[in-house]
Amino acid sequence: MRHIRNRSALFAAISAISVATAAPALAEEIIIIGAASAQTGGLAPYDQPALAGLRMAIDDLNAKGGLAGKYKVNLIIKDTRSDTAQTATVTQELIDAGAKIMITPCDADPSISAGQLTQPLGIPSLTLCGSAPVLTQAVGDVMFGTYPADNLQATAVADFAISEGKRKVFLLTSPDATYVANLPEYFGKVFEKKGGKIVGRGTFTMNQPDFSAEITNIKGLAEQPDLIMTAAYEPDFPAFIQQLRGAGITIPVYGADAIGTPTIKALGKLVDGVVYTAAGYPEAGSKLEAFNAAFTKYAGHAPESTYEVNGYEIGLILDQAVKIAGSDDPKAIRDAIANLKDFEGITGKITYAGTDRMPIRPVVLMRYDGGEAKYVETVVPAAADVPAP
Amino acid sequence: MAVMTMERSTSRSILPTAFRNAGVDALAMIAALVLAVLAIYLFGNAAMQRVVTYAAIMLTAVLGLQMFSGNTGIVSFGHAAFVGLGAYATGILTLPAALQRTALRDLPQFLAGYEMSFFAALVVVLVLAVLIGLVTGTPLLRLSGSSASIATLALLIIVYTLLVAGREITRGSQPFYGVPREVGLWTAVAVAAMAIAAARLFRETSFGLAARAAADDERGAAAVGVDHRIARLAAWVLGAVAAAAAGAMMAQFLGAFSPKDFYFDFGFTMLAMLIVGGMASSLGAFTGVVVTVLVVEVVRRFEGGGMLFGLEMPVLFGLTQGVLAVAMILVIWRRPTGLFGDRELNLLRRSHAKAEFSKLEAVPARAAGGSISVDRLSRRYAGVVAVDDVTLSFQPDSITGIIGPNGAGKTTLLNMIAGDVTPSSGTVSVGTSARQASAFRFARAGIARTFQNIRVFPRMTVLENVVVAARVVEPGLAAAEAAARRELARMGLESFADRPAASLAYGQRRRLEVARALALKPRFLLLDEPAAGMNAVETAELVSILAAVRNERHIGVILIEHDMRLVMNLCERIVVIDRGRVIADGTPGEVQNNPAVVAAYLGSRTARARQGNDVQ
Residues B299 and B315 in one domain: yes
Provide the residue count of chain B.
616
Task: Taking each helix axis as running N to C, give the angle between helix A178-193 and helix A150-163, from 0 to 180 degrees, rounded to the nearest 10.
Answer: 40
- Residues of A near B (CB-CB distance < 8 A)? 6, 9-10, 12-13, 16-17, 20, 39-40, 76-79, 81, 84-85, 88-90, 92-93, 95-96, 108-109, 112-113, 116, 132, 134-135, 137-139, 175-178, 181-182
- Write the DSSP string, B230-265: HHHHHHHHHHHHHHHHHHHHHHHHHS-B-GGGGSHH
For residue A31, the cross-strand partners are A73
Measured torsion, CA atoms of residues B50, B52, B58, B61, in degrees rounded to the nearest 10? -110
The H-or-E segment that residue B391 falls in is strand B384-394
| Nearest CB neighbour to A16, from listed B255, B294, B306 | B306
Residues A130 and A156 in one domain: no
Angle value at C-alpha B381, between B380 and B384, nearest 5 degrees: 75
Residues B493 and B541 in one domain: no
- The residue in chain A having the minimum alpha-carbon distance to the alpha carbon of residue B293 is A86
B98 found inside a domain = yes
Chain A residue numbers with beta carbons less than 8 Å from the beta carbon of B50 are 88-89, 92
Residues A258 and A295 in one domain: no
Least confident of A332-336, B141-145, B466-470: B141-145
Residues B489 and B589 in one domain: no
**What distance in Å separates the CA atoms of residue B359 and residue B8, rounded to the nearest whole number?**
11
Measured torsion, CA atoms of residues B429, B435, B441, B445, in degrees rounded to the nearest 10? -40
Chain B residue numbers with beta carbons less than 8 Å from the beta carbon of A9 are 298
SS3 assignment, position A357: coil
Average pLDDT over residues B128-147: 92
Least confident of A170-184, A213-227, B254-268, B419-433: B419-433
Residues A75 and A44 in one domain: yes
Looking at residue B603, its pLDDT comes to 67
pLDDT, greater one: A118 or B315: A118
Question: Using one digit for the tens of pLDDT, what is the confidence trace for B283-300?
Answer: 999 999 999 999 988 888
Question: Using one digit for the tens of pLDDT, what is the confidence trace for B385-436?
Answer: 999 999 999 998 889 999 998 888 999 999 999 999 999 999 888 876 655 6
- Residues of the domain holding B581: 373-446+522-610
- The residue in chain A having the minimum alpha-carbon distance to the alpha carbon of residue B175 is A109
Cα distances (Å, whole numbers) of residue A228 to A161, A275, A364, B11, B587? 11, 11, 19, 77, 91
Interface size A-B, in CB pairs within 8 Å, comes to: 115
Looking at residue B434, its pLDDT comes to 59
**C-beta atoms of B304 and A134 within 8 A:** no
Looking at residue B168, its pLDDT comes to 86
> Among candidates B391, B374, B400, which has minimal Cα distance to B573?
B400
Split at pLDDT 50, 70, 90, the class of B71 is very high
Residues B533 and B595 in one domain: yes
Residues B179 and B296 in one domain: yes
- What residues have CB less than 8 Å from B510, skipping those under 6 apart? B450, B454, B530, B531, B533, B534, B538, B542
Residue B1 has pLDDT above 70, yes or no: no
**What distance in Å separates the CA atoms of residue A152 and residue B89, rounded to the nearest whole number?**
33
| Nearest CB neighbour to B308, from listed A12, A76, A85 | A12
Cα distances (Å, whole numbers) of residue A50 to A84, A183, A314, A352, A383? 19, 22, 9, 20, 25
B9 found inside a domain = no
Cα distances (Å, whole numbers) of residue A202 to A41, A241, A274? 31, 14, 19
pLDDT, greater one: A339 or B322: A339
Last residue of a domain, one of B519, B543, B572: B519
Model ipTM over 0.85? no
Residue B309 has pLDDT above 90, yes or no: no
β-pairing, A363-369 vs A275-278, is: antiparallel
Angle value at C-alpha A65, between A64 and A70, nearest 5 degrees: 135
- The residue in chain B having the minimum alpha-carbon distance to the alpha carbon of residue A140 is B178
Chain B residue numbers with beta carbons less than 8 Å from the beta carbon of A55 are none
> Among candidates B238, B195, B234, which has minimal Cα distance to B57?
B195
Long-range Cβ contact pairs of A59-66 (< 8 A, separation 24 or more): A59/A298, A60/A315, A61/A315, A61/A319, A66/A29, A66/A30, A66/A31
**C-beta atoms of A40 and B306 within 8 A:** no
Q: Give which of A113, A127, A135 to mutate to test B binding, by max B Cβ within 10 Å.
A: A113
For residue A198, the cross-strand partners are A169
- Residues of the domain holding A43: 2-148+285-358
Cβ pair A72, A62 in contact under 8 A: yes
Residues A31 and A130 in one domain: yes
Q: Spell out where chain A has E strands.
A: 30-37, 72-79, 101-104, 125-127, 143-144, 168-173, 197-203, 227-230, 253-254, 275-278, 343-344, 349-350, 363-369, 372-379
Looking at residue B430, its pLDDT comes to 82
Cβ pair A349, A326 in contact under 8 A: no
Residue A12 has pLDDT above 50, yes or no: no
| Nearest CB neighbour to B257, from listed A9, A109, A135 | A109
Cα distances (Å, whole numbers) of residue A54 to A70, A295, A319, A362, B68? 18, 11, 12, 19, 47
Looking at residue B435, its pLDDT comes to 59
- Mark B77-99 as b/e (b = at least 16 C-beta within 10 Å): bbbbbbbbbbbbbbbbbbbeeee
Cβ pair A364, A348 in contact under 8 A: no
**What distance in Å separates the CA atoms of residue A237 and residue A244, rounded to the nearest whole number?**
10
Q: What is the mean pLDDT of chain B?
A: 87
- Write the DSSP string, B337-361: T-TTTT----HHHHHT---------
Looking at residue B15, its pLDDT comes to 72
- What residues have CB less than 8 Å from A368, skipping those under 6 apart? A264, A265, A267, A271, A272, A273, A274, A276, A374
Number of domains composing chain B: 3
Looking at residue B256, its pLDDT comes to 87
Question: Using one digit for the tens of pLDDT, what is the confidence trace for A28-72?
Answer: 589 999 999 998 888 888 899 999 999 999 999 999 999 999 999
Question: Using one digit for the tens of pLDDT, what is the confidence trace for A218-253?
Answer: 999 999 999 999 999 988 999 999 999 999 999 999
Residues B190 and B126 in one domain: yes
Least confident of A193-207, A310-324, B420-434, B546-560: B420-434
| Nearest CB neighbour to A181, from listed B173, B298, B307 | B173
**Closest chain B C-alpha to A20 CA, distance in angstroms:** 9
Average pLDDT over residues B313-318: 77
Per the rule left: phi > 0, alpha: psi between -120 and 50, beta: everything else, A38 is beta
Looking at residue B362, its pLDDT comes to 55
Question: Using one digit for the tens of pLDDT, what is the confidence trace for A371-387?
Answer: 899 999 999 999 899 99
- Write the DSSP string, B471-489: HHHSSSHHHHHHHHHHHHH
Residues B510 and B534 in one domain: no
**C-beta atoms of B54 and A89 within 8 A:** yes
Residue A18 has pLDDT above 80, yes or no: no
Quick count: other Cβ atoms within 10 Å of Cβ A340?
20
Residue A22 has pLDDT above 50, yes or no: no
Q: Give which of B273, B301, B313, B315 to mutate to test A binding, by max A Cβ within 10 Å.
A: B301
Looking at residue B64, its pLDDT comes to 97
Chain B residue numbers with beta carbons less than 8 Å from the beta carbon of A181 are 172-174
**Residue B568's CATH number:** 3.40.50.300
Residues A155 and A239 in one domain: yes
Residues A26 and A44 in one domain: yes
Number of domains composing chain A: 2
**What distance in Å separates the CA atoms of residue B49 and residue B53, rounded to the nearest whole number?**
6
Residues A160 and A144 in one domain: no
For chain B, percent of residues with pLDDT exceeding 90: 54
Split at pLDDT 50, 70, 90, the class of B181 is confident
- What residues have CB less than 8 Å from A304, skipping those under 6 apart? A49
**Residue A160's CATH number:** 3.40.50.2300
**What distance in Å separates the CA atoms of residue B600 and residue B520, rounded to the nearest whole number?**
36
- What residues have CB less than 8 Å from A62, skipping those under 6 apart? A72, A73
Residues B399 and B463 in one domain: no
Alpha helix stretches (DSSP H) within B316-433: 319-334, 347-351, 410-417
**Phi, psi at residue B583, to the nearest 5°?**
-110, -15
Residues A264 and A155 in one domain: yes
Looking at residue B9, its pLDDT comes to 40
Residue B612 has pLDDT above 80, yes or no: no
Alpha carbon of residue A95 to chain centroid: 23
The H-or-E segment that residue B515 falls in is helix B506-518
> Among candidates A350, A287, A356, which has minimal Cα distance to A314?
A350
For chain A, percent of residues with pLDDT exceeding 90: 74
Looking at residue A1, its pLDDT comes to 38
**Residue B255's CATH number:** 1.10.3470
Looking at residue B606, its pLDDT comes to 59
Looking at residue A118, its pLDDT comes to 95
**C-beta atoms of B320 and A81 within 8 A:** yes
Residues B387 and B503 in one domain: no
Residues B419 and B481 in one domain: no
Residues A118 and A169 in one domain: no
- Residues of B near A (CB-CB distance < 8 A)? 45-47, 50-51, 54, 102-103, 164-165, 167, 172-175, 177-178, 181, 250, 253-258, 260-261, 294, 297-298, 300-304, 306-309, 317-318, 320-321
Question: Using one digit for the tens of pLDDT, what is the confidence trace for B564-575?
Answer: 888 888 899 999
Split at pLDDT 50, 70, 90, the class of B599 is confident
Give the amino acid at A78: K
Residues B87 and B143 in one domain: yes
B412 found inside a domain = yes
Residue B490 has pLDDT above 90, yes or no: no
B187 found inside a domain = yes
Cα distances (Å, whole numbers) of residue B236 to B133, B225, B239? 6, 20, 5
Residues B511 and B533 in one domain: no
Residue B442 has pLDDT above 70, yes or no: yes
**C-beta atoms of A178 and B174 within 8 A:** yes
Cβ pair A50, A128 in contact under 8 A: yes
- What residues have CB less than 8 Å from B460, skipping those under 6 apart? B209, B212, B213, B216, B468, B500, B501
Q: What is the 3-state secondary structure (H, E, C) of A291-340?
A: HHHHHHHHHCCCCCCCHHHHHHHHHHHHHHHHHHHCCCCHHHHHHHHHCC
**What distance in Å separates the CA atoms of residue A158 and residue B6, rounded to the nearest whole number?**
88
Residues A248 and A340 in one domain: no
Residues A188 and A122 in one domain: no
B249 found inside a domain = yes
**What distance in Å separates the CA atoms of residue B175 and residue B510, rounded to the nearest whole number?**
59
**Phi, psi at residue B314, to the nearest 5°?**
-75, 155
Looking at residue A27, its pLDDT comes to 45
Question: Using one digit for the tens of pLDDT, what is the confidence trace for B89-129?
Answer: 999 999 998 888 878 888 898 898 889 999 999 999 999 99
